[in-house]
Amino acid sequence: MHLWYTEYQTDNIGLSFKIKETLFVGRSKYQDIAVLDTFEFGRLLVLDGLVMTTERDEFIYHELITHPALFTHRCAKNVLVIGGGDGGSIREIIKHDNIKEAVLCEIDPIVVEVSKRYLPSLSSELENPKVKIVYKDGINFVSNFRSYFDIIIVDSTDPIGPAKGLFGLSFYRDCFAALKDEGILICQSESPIYHLDLIQEIQTNLKRVDFPIVKFYYGIIPTYPSGMWSWAFASKKFDPLRDIQEEKIKNRKFLTKYYNLGIHKAIFNLPSFFKKGLG
């Protein structure tokens, strides 16, 4: 028997994975959750029928959503991750010795449970004493803080279902308020090939909440729609190119498989169609 899983990335494009085994299929209060073991990309986490992450290429997404901010901020101590229940972002954050507290605010406890059980290479630091997990809606949670976090990372699903508000103006306003004066907000911002209109909207909203620095960067994630992915870098003080901590990157004691000094400098140089789309 040949079992295949297909994600329809748009109405007209499908990416199909040949499956060894279905490890978990279930439904939480919020969404359908599945873990499939694929031949090409290792284990695959699927939420509401959408590819969230795979063991083989997750390193690209998780290194890029974390290290550019962590190697720009002078001395981040408190970081908040909204979403990201698989634990991949937390794993990368914890590599930085300066981090005292990493809060993971995931709405769905089943995602964390499933990841701990089936995706150990992602969830490996979720039990770290520096990590606090709260099972709450990130939109409400972040609104309780004032000048508390150094970095907030929005590691959300696509802007449908529970994650929709994570792309809105009032959420960004609350993130701004929850950040210290030197704070940085990173938001995954979808595919520049398919969602340039959404990226423009994110840019407009981030500028409206008064972040003086709003930039976008990109990377290649084979299992995400179009393979090209982007993140917004919104910052109160530090610029990811001007304030890049070159020595700290060069002397870091941990390994990265995608991120390095050259990549940090390169990923803010956007292809012309992407720059043009930003206006």
Supply the minimum distance, in Å, between the C-beta of residue 142 and its own copies: 31
The smaller minimum CB distance to its own copies, of residues 211 and 259, is found at 259
Supply the minimum distance, in Å, between the C-beta of residue 37 and its own copies: 11
Cα 109 from Cα 99, distance rounded (Å): 24
Question: For the CA atoms of 113, 64, 139, 27, what is the dihedral angle to 10 degrees?
Answer: -30
The smaller minimum CB distance to its own copies, of residues 162 and 219, is found at 219
The smaller minimum CB distance to its own copies, of residues 4 and 75, is found at 4
Supply the minimum distance, in Å, between the C-beta of residue 46 and its own copies: 15
The smaller minimum CB distance to its own copies, of residues 39 and 247, is found at 39
Supply the minimum distance, in Å, between the C-beta of residue 135 and its own copies: 34
CA 141 to centroid of chain Cα atoms: 18
Supply the minimum distance, in Å, between the C-beta of residue 60 and its own copies: 7
Q: With CA atoms as reference, report the closest residue to 249 among 125, 61, 70, 60.
A: 70
With a CB cutoff of 8 Å and minimum separation 6, the contacts of 221 are: 57, 60, 61, 227, 228, 229
With a CB cutoff of 8 Å and minimum separation 6, the contacts of 140 are: none
The residue from 57, 86, 155, 174 that is catalytic is 155
Classified as helix, coil or strand, 135 is coil
Catalytic residue status for 155: yes
Q: Considering Cα of 95, then 101, then 104, then 109, what sign does the dihedral take?
A: positive
> Which contiguous run of DSSP H or E holds residue 73?
none
Cα 227 from Cα 193, distance rounded (Å): 9
Q: Which residues are near its own copies by CB under 8 A?
A: 4, 6, 10-18, 38-41, 57, 60, 193, 218, 220-222, 226-228, 255-260, 262-263, 265-267, 269-273, 275
How many angstroms separate the most distant Cα atoms in the chain?
A: 57
What DSSP string runs through 85-115? TTSHHHHHHHTSTT--EEEEE-S-HHHHHHH
The smaller minimum CB distance to its own copies, of residues 142 and 267, is found at 267
Give catalytic residue positions: 155
